[in-house]
Amino acid sequence: MSILVYAEHDNTELKADTLKTVTAALKIGSDVHLLVAGANCQSVVEQAAKVTGVTKVLVADNAAYEHQLAENVSALVLELAADYDTIMATALTTGKNFVPRVAALLDVAQISDIIDVESADTFVRPIYAGNAIATVKSLDVKKVLTVRATAFDAADTDGSAEVVTLSNVTDAGISSHVKDELTVSARPDLGAASIVISGGRGMQNGENFKLLDGIADKLGAAIGASRAAVDAGFVPNDMQVGQTGKIVAPDLYIAVGISGAIQHLAGMKDSKVIVAINKDPEAPIFQVADYGLEADLFDALPELEAKL
């Protein structure tokens, strides 16, 4: 029972979420291989080889994989597929982009966003923005999965896997990379932070998000946002937490000026401790908060920063 896990990376660093996906893989079987597809990604390969439980790291280091274009990566995975019973990736934007192609080309169904493994063919996943939890059995010979990283613990990194270099290269040639406009931030990744503080429409504008900065600095927190704050242009899209944005489950989540729509809750309600600051005592966010503070955020945030 061999399992292929796609490594998420930026050609320099292996994403911490891959360690969680490896844990999910180890719940299915023991022969877990990591695929590193990228360009000049040797440092990623070194990190991948240390992931405990991984027996082999397959490396496709070529310009065709630099931006991990869906057409090229799916063709690569397809060539390797014959050796694997299960193919999986983290449910982040790269995995979500190419994994369904692999499933379709293998003529099997994909099971998205699994949060638990019941057996090698039966998986648990949230549906309807997490308002229902489905147990789904795959009837196909091969399983193609994406994994919700927040539901699994990270694998250790004291292993030493065998590294195998692949020579097959596919460039489909129908899409090309034009540019990236990445958000530069010195703060921890939303997915990796143990504390997240998010602002919503109540913040009123982008300038006011600075009120969260000082608090985030003191707590070592990442900053997130609701869809309303992103749509209004207060902050960039990659800060959106929710059903259709990022899923986070930190030790502490602080929601400021966020009402608590089901789509937002879907992205943060598995946080260990939730704090809500809102001036409306009826705001639904208070129903999921461990600690609620009914207050005007423009008073509460400066006081919180000063007193931390």
Partner 1 sequence: MKVLVPIKRVIDYNVKVRVKADNSDVDLTNTKMAINPFCEIAVEEAVRLKEAGTVTEIIVVSVGDKTCQEQLRTALALGADRAIQIETDESLDALNIAKLLQKVVEEEQPQLVILGKQSIDSDNNQTGQMLAALTGMSQGTFASEVVVDGDKVNVTREVDGGLQTLALTLPAVVTTDLRLNEPRYASLPNIMKAKRKPLDVKPAADFGINLTARTSLLKVTPPAERQAGIMVGSIDELIEKLKTEAKVIS
Please report, as residue ranges, which positions from 213 to 272 form the binding site for ligand FAD (by CB under 6 A). Answer: 226-229, 240-245, 257-259, 261, 263-264, 267
Which residues, at least 6 apart from 244, have a Cβ–Cβ distance to it below 8 Å? 227, 263
Alpha-carbon torsion, ordered 100, 134, 131, 144, to 10 deg: -20
Q: 299, 93, 275: which is closest to 198 by C-alpha?
A: 275
Stretch that binds partner 1, among 25-33, 40-48, 159-167, 270-278 (CB under 8 A): 270-278
Residue with tokens 């992931």: 51
One of 18, 86, 138, 259 touching partner 1 (CB under 8 A): 138
Sign of CA dihedral 155, 156, 157, 161: negative
Stretch that binds partner 1, among 20-28, 41-49, 120-128, 200-208 (CB under 8 A): 120-128
* 76 versus 228: smaller Cβ distance to ligand FAD: 228
Query: Is 242 assigned a ligand-binding role in the annotation?
Result: yes
Please answer whether residues 127 and 115 qualify as being in contact, where contact means their C-beta atoms are separated by less than 8 angstroms. Answer: no
**What is the closest distance, in whole angstroms, from the C-beta atom of residue 135 to partner 1 in the complex?**
4
Considering CB distances under 5 to 8 angstroms, the limit depending on partner class, which of partner 1, ligand FAD, none binds residue 228? Answer: ligand FAD
Query: Is 227 assigned a ligand-binding role in the annotation?
Result: yes
Residues in region 48-87 near partner 1 by CB under 8 A: 67, 69-71, 74
Q: Which two tokens stand for residue 190?
A: 């939303």
Considering CB distances under 5 to 8 angstroms, the limit depending on partner class, which of ligand FAD, partner 1, none binds residue 226? Answer: ligand FAD
Which residues, at least 6 apart from 187, have a Cβ–Cβ distance to it below 8 Å? 193, 216, 221, 222, 223
Query: Is 241 assigned a ligand-binding role in the annotation?
Result: yes
One of 158, 167, 181, 282 touching partner 1 (CB under 8 A): 181
Query: Is 226 assigned a ligand-binding role in the annotation?
Result: yes
Residues in region 206-265 near partner 1 by CB under 8 A: 219, 227, 230-231, 236-238, 240, 243-244, 246, 251-252, 262-263
* 15 versus 264: smaller Cβ distance to ligand FAD: 264
* 154 versus 288: smaller Cβ distance to partner 1: 288
Please answer whether residues 219 and 246 qualify as being in contact, where contact means their C-beta atoms are separated by less than 8 angstroms. Answer: no
Query: How does 143-162 read in b/e, with b if 16+ C-beta sit within 10 Å?
Result: bbbbbbbbbbebbeeebebe
**What is the closest distance, in whole angstroms, from the C-beta atom of residue 224 to ligand FAD in the complex?**
9
d(CA 74, CA 125): 23
Helix (H, G, I), strand (E, B) or coil at 69: coil
**What is the closest distance, in whole angstroms, from the C-beta atom of residue 43 to partner 1 in the complex?**
18
Q: For the CA atoms of the chain, what is the radius of gyration? A: 20
**101 binds partner 1, rule: CB under 8 A:** yes
Query: Is 264 assigned a ligand-binding role in the annotation?
Result: yes
Sign of CA dihedral 188, 192, 195, 196: positive
Q: Which two tokens stand for residue 138?
A: 């795959």
* 46 versus 299: smaller Cβ distance to ligand FAD: 299
d(CA 33, CA 58): 7
Bind-site residues: 201, 226-227, 240-244, 257-264, 278
The residues that touch ligand FAD, with contacts defined as CB under 6 A, are 200-202, 226-229, 240-245, 257-259, 261, 263-264, 267, 278-280, 283, 296-298
Bind-site residues for FAD: 201, 226-227, 240-244, 257-264, 278
